Structure 1
Amino acid sequence: MKLMSIKLAIIYYSSTGTNHQLAQWAADAAKATGAEVKVLKVPELAPEAAIESNPAWKAHMEATADINTVSLDDLEWADAIIFSVPTRFGNLPAQMKQFLDTTGGLWFHGKLTNKVVSAMSSASNAHGGQEQTILSLYTTMYHWGAIVVAPGYSDPSIFAAGGNPYGTSVTVNQEGKMIEDVRGAVEHQAKRVVTVAEWVKKGMK
């Protein structure tokens, strides 16, 4: 049965490409369900000197220059939102946190209530803060009054990806390569978000 039209915003921050790739996999899976999808990046706050000093960072920034930067209008437009971010000391990157801190006006007017949300993350080792980063992001979502849709253990792909019930997470080695095979888990998470958003949208009508 074809899903009703769901508007999904996939909002990410990525310095060298991991979370951009997770976002793209999620977008492909959501589009396959018939969802209308926007892949959006948050503004980069790092100084140019820092970016220039890391060839992989600079190359990724140039390669994704054509991806639209997220706006508050995108949040209002979306029925559902998937976030993808690397961990920074077990917390959100400043780039994502800065954007979330601009949502007070939408929150005040109830524009973020009942948005269906989920999150993904990455770190350079298996216990590098991925779970805590996702939970930190969900704290903001609870204040929004959003509906958090975690994958739990709802599909075998989650176990293959390392078994994070809060959201797909991946370990990235020093060469920038993903250690776990997480694509299936990302695709399942995206489809689950679209499905739950459909239930919510139907129920609200």
Structure 2
Amino acid sequence: MNHFFNPLYLVKLMVKILVLFYGYGSIVELAREIAKGAEEEGAETRLRRVRETLPEEYIKRMHIQPSDDIPEVSLDDMRWADGIAIGSPTRYGNMAGALKTFLDTTAELWMKGELYGKPVTFFTEASTVHGGHESTILTMSTYAYHFGMIIVPVGYSIQELFNTTTGGSPYGASHLGIKKELDENERKIARFQGKRLAQVAKKLSS
């Protein structure tokens, strides 16, 4: 039978996308938009957060509201996924420590080559235009090189990336934090990124 008409083949093409992040506020909304874009492409998604590592007194002092409604990520989530999106707000041009702590626990995946060849994409948030949008994504991406993953950038693929008053870059979706809420351009870029990740995962899976 031609595989195009084989129902089992079509089921196989429904890829699984993990959207993994650290943070709160706009980074959570970016994660949700990326998941939404992947779902529009027909993917099954999981939205997961990494465990908070900041001291409790600091969390209270800074009025941080963790996303407790979203489950914590596990290594099994990483194994489950055909494609992964990883996000963090910038911390002085780098990923947040909590995300780094989680990624440091994935050594057993590395030793078994369980993420090798999987597509991965990155997203971030920074308060100012030059506050780390690009460097944070670049520093997160070094993880992918060590695991042999396939980095899926946004590229200059949609018109919204040419708007200079919003977040987003060819490296990945981002939020310009001087605005409290995501603007429509940022939402469109994030949804496109999720859709593109699902498309690449689908091609690799097929």
Whether the aligned pair in 2 keeps the contact of 1:171 and 1:179 (CA below 8 Å) is no
Which residue of the other structure, out of 42, 47, 52, is the alignment partner of 1:39? 47
Whether the aligned pair in 2 keeps the contact of 1:6 and 1:79 (CA below 8 Å) is yes
Matches within 5 A, 1:7-26: 7-15=16-24, 17-26=25-34
SS in 1 for 2:105: coil
**Quick one: distance in 2 between partners of 1:30 and 1:157?**
18
Question: Is the counterpart of residue 82 in structure 1 residue 85 in structure 2?
Answer: yes
Which residue of the other structure, out of 6, 27, 30, is the alignment partner of 2:15? 6
Compute the TM-score of the two structures, normalised by the length of structure 2. 0.89
**Quick one: distance in 2 between partners of 1:106 and 1:162?**
32
What does the per-residue CA deviation read over 1:108-154, in whole Å, with 9 as the maximum and x for residues that have no partner? 11101011100111111000011011011111101100000001111
Structure 1, gaps ≥5 residues long:
none
Which residue is 1:97 aligned to? 100
**Quick one: distance in 1 between partners of 2:69 and 2:112?**
31
Which residue is 1:108 aligned to? 111
Matches within 5 A, 1:1-205: 4-15=13-24, 17-55=25-63, 57=64, 60-61=65-66, 64-160=67-163, 161-162=166-167, 164-173=169-178, 176-178=180-182, 181-202=185-206
How far the C-alpha of 1:71 sits from its partner, in A, is: 0.5
Counterpart amino acid of residue 44 in structure 1? E
RCO higher in structure (CA 8 A, sep ≥6): 2
How far the C-alpha of 1:162 sits from its partner, in A, is: 4.7
Whether the aligned pair in 1 keeps the contact of 2:115 and 2:149 (CA below 8 Å) is yes
Compute the TM-score of the two structures, normalised by the length of structure 1. 0.89
SS in 2 for 1:181: helix
Whether the aligned pair in 1 keeps the contact of 2:33 and 2:191 (CA below 8 Å) is yes
Q: CA RMSD in A?
A: 1.9
SS in 1 for 2:130: coil
Structure 2, gaps ≥5 residues long:
5-9
Whether the aligned pair in 2 keeps the contact of 1:172 and 1:179 (CA below 8 Å) is no
How far the C-alpha of 1:54 sits from its partner, in A, is: 2.3
Whether the aligned pair in 1 keeps the contact of 2:27 and 2:175 (CA below 8 Å) is no
Whether the aligned pair in 1 keeps the contact of 2:29 and 2:182 (CA below 8 Å) is no
Q: % of aligned pairs identical?
A: 38
SS in 1 for 2:33: helix
Aligned length: 195
Whether the aligned pair in 1 keeps the contact of 2:20 and 2:73 (CA below 8 Å) is yes
Whether the aligned pair in 2 keeps the contact of 1:9 and 1:39 (CA below 8 Å) is yes
Pick the structure with greater CA Rg.
2
Whether the aligned pair in 2 keeps the contact of 1:120 and 1:134 (CA below 8 Å) is yes
